[in-house]
Chains A and B, each alone.
Chain A
Amino acid sequence: MIRVLLPAHLKVLANVTGEVEIDPKDGASISAVIEAVERRYPALRGTILRYGVRERRPMLRFFACNTDLSHEDPKSPLPAAVLDGEEPLLIIGAIAGG
């Protein structure tokens, strides 16, 4: 299973604790995984990828395997370690504001 770690505020919004697990059959790219997360938790629609353009919100980043994937093609395959469930896909909010 693909392990997805959501920012704290989105965990509250989705009413989940810990990681979210997505079946790799539902998608092997960042965009496919997020769409699967949105299908399971409709309250998260539009909070990670903007409506319409489906672009990453500017103050969120995607990390996995110690690598910043934020500027990769969101349709490209995730690293094998993420697909195998060894490493989580991290969705991280910018540390900013007050």
Chain B
Amino acid sequence: MRVLAGTRKGAFILEADEARNRWSIDGPFFAGWEIYHIAGSPADPQRLYASQSSGWFGQVVQRSNDGGRTWQPVNNEFAYDAIPGTHQWYDGSSRPWEFKRVWHFEASPLQPDVVYAGVEDAALFRSDDGGEHWHELSGLRNHSTGSSWQPGAGGMCLHTILLDRSNAGRIYVAISAAGAFRSDDGGATWLPINRGLQSEYIPDPNAEVGHCVHRLAMHPAKPNVLFMQKHWDVMRSDNGGEVWHEISGNLPTDFGFAIDVHAHDPDTVYVVPIKSDREHFPLDGALRVYRSRTGGNEWEALTHGLPQEHCYVNVLRDAMAVDRLGSCGIYFGTTGGQIYASADSGDSWNAIARDLPPVLSVEVQSFA
């Protein structure tokens, strides 16, 4: 097992055997830099990509061919296609598109050298040579609604990329705060898929775009079923995003960032409810993962091994992952520097790291 953690001050790699009892921690890699995401290739687990950035020096992309033992900087130029045009700023004024950082890498399930990058200001890039060159899939940003997209509080980031393994042309992305989009032709053209979302904080609560989608999740065996943690509301679509319906059910609060699906049960979903958009910490100071075994609406609190008092951390959108072992492991990182792991689908939890910098992202590689 290998857990890849991106933090505010570097990357860390945690390893354990199948029992997942004892973890080694290696790092920090790229010490002092923000690592928004570190991800592995499903086609070659030794191939890793890391997004290394700083306010001083901009973006660096690192690639490893040996599971993170050594790294090589690859191309860090993300040039928008043609004249990039404008999007809306927080106050409604127009701002030119400007690259700031890579939020998320999603490697092809079949080809180690093919990797997608979701960036801020929101755009999708692809490399076909392991990061040596990047080209924009500009049909997304050039969608007719693009000039009306606005940033969320964290910036106008493309933070989620889902590749449908059963349909090579189908890609889902999510952008804060534009919403969710789907391509059925490999990224050439895009369709907003936000029908059914209702966001009371925007002028038209049912608008085609403008929803602050925090995260999407999908089980590869049911690629038409999508789960979404929106700013507020946990949502589900059963038809590839054509229509969404709310599944918040009995959650104590439906604000949050992270959401993921059990590796072996497409109807088992996990979220980490956060108190509100004003108070980014768990309700009542108790860190609780909520699990639904029914695809939503009916949720149970998972607390065993998690702090149940005086806990005021956040769990960010890319900081939850699941492994592929028989008893599916669940992992999440906190802004307090802890990484919690469950080897029994969430029934019990242990901190496998306690004092890292604030955790921005968590990915898991299973080798069983």
Asked if residues A57 and B76 are in contact (CB atoms below 8 Å), the reply is no
| Stretch of A22-30, A42-50, A66-74, A76-84 at the chain-chain interface | A42-50
| Interfacial chain A residues near B73, Cβ < 8 Å | 13, 42-43
For chain B, the bracket of interface size reads 10 to 19
Partner of A46, one of B32, B33, B56, B76: B76
A96–B99 Cα gap in the complex (Å)?
22
Q: Which of A43, A45, A46, A57 gathers the greatest number of chain B CB atoms within 10 Å?
A: A46
Shortest CB distance B57–A (Å): 4
Indicate if A20 sits at the interface (CB-CB under 8 A): no
Could you tell me which residues of chain B, from 68 to 89, have a CB within 8 Å of some CB in chain A?
A: 73, 76-77, 79
A21–B73 Cα gap in the complex (Å)?
22
Chain B 105-117 interface 0/1 with A at a Cβ cutoff of 8 Å (1 = within): 0000000000000
Indicate if A85 sits at the interface (CB-CB under 8 A): no
A59–B57 Cα gap in the complex (Å)?
8
Indicate if B361 sits at the interface (CB-CB under 8 A): no
A56–B36 Cα gap in the complex (Å)?
23
| Interfacial chain B residues near A7, Cβ < 8 Å | 56-57
Indicate if A97 sits at the interface (CB-CB under 8 A): yes
Indicate if B59 sits at the interface (CB-CB under 8 A): yes
A51–B58 Cα gap in the complex (Å)?
10
Report whether over half of chain A's contact residues are helix, strand or loop; otherwise say mixed. Answer: loop
Indicate if B303 sits at the interface (CB-CB under 8 A): no
| Interfacial chain B residues near A96, Cβ < 8 Å | 55
| Interfacial chain B residues near A60, Cβ < 8 Å | 56-57
Asked if residues B58 and A9 are in contact (CB atoms below 8 Å), the reply is no
Asked if residues B55 and A59 are in contact (CB atoms below 8 Å), the reply is yes
A5–B55 Cα gap in the complex (Å)?
20
Number of contacting residues on A, CB 8 A? 20
| Interfacial chain B residues near A59, Cβ < 8 Å | 55-56
Could you tell me which residues of chain A, from 31 to 63, have a CB within 8 Å of some CB in chain B?
A: 42-43, 45-48, 50-52, 57, 59-60
Q: Which of B55, B59, B99 gathers the greatest number of chain A CB atoms within 10 Å?
A: B55
Chain B 40-62 interface 0/1 with A at a Cβ cutoff of 8 Å (1 = within): 00000000000000111111100
| Interfacial chain A residues near B58, Cβ < 8 Å | 46-47, 50, 57
Q: Which of B57, B59, B73, B79 gathers the greatest number of chain A CB atoms within 10 Å?
A: B57
Asked if residues A13 and B60 are in contact (CB atoms below 8 Å), the reply is yes
A82–B99 Cα gap in the complex (Å)?
34
Q: Name which residue of chain B comes closest to A50, CB basis.
A: B58
| Interfacial chain B residues near A50, Cβ < 8 Å | 58
A59–B56 Cα gap in the complex (Å)?
5
Using known A-B contacts A45-B76, A46-B77, determine if residue A57 contacts B60 with beta carbons closer than 8 Å: no
Q: Name which residue of chain B comes closest to A49, CB basis.
A: B58
Chain B 164-180 interface 0/1 with A at a Cβ cutoff of 8 Å (1 = within): 00000000000000000
Could you tell me which residues of chain B, from 92 to 111, have a CB within 8 Å of some CB in chain A?
A: 99
A1–B254 Cα gap in the complex (Å)?
62
Can you report 30 A-B residue pairs in the complex whose CB atoms are below 8 A from each other? A7-B56, A7-B57, A9-B32, A9-B33, A9-B54, A9-B56, A9-B57, A10-B57, A13-B57, A13-B60, A42-B73, A43-B60, A43-B73, A46-B76, A46-B77, A47-B57, A47-B58, A47-B60, A48-B57, A52-B79, A57-B56, A57-B57, A57-B58, A59-B55, A59-B56, A60-B56, A60-B57, A93-B56, A94-B56, A96-B55
B interface list, Cβ under 8 A from A: 32-33, 54-60, 73, 76-77, 79, 99
Closest 8 CB pairs of A and B: A43-B73, A47-B57, A93-B56, A59-B56, A51-B77, A46-B76, A46-B58, A47-B58
Q: A42-B73, A43-B60, A94-B56 are in contact. List 10 more A-B contacts (CB 8 A).
A: A9-B33, A9-B56, A10-B57, A43-B73, A46-B58, A46-B76, A47-B57, A52-B79, A57-B56, A59-B56
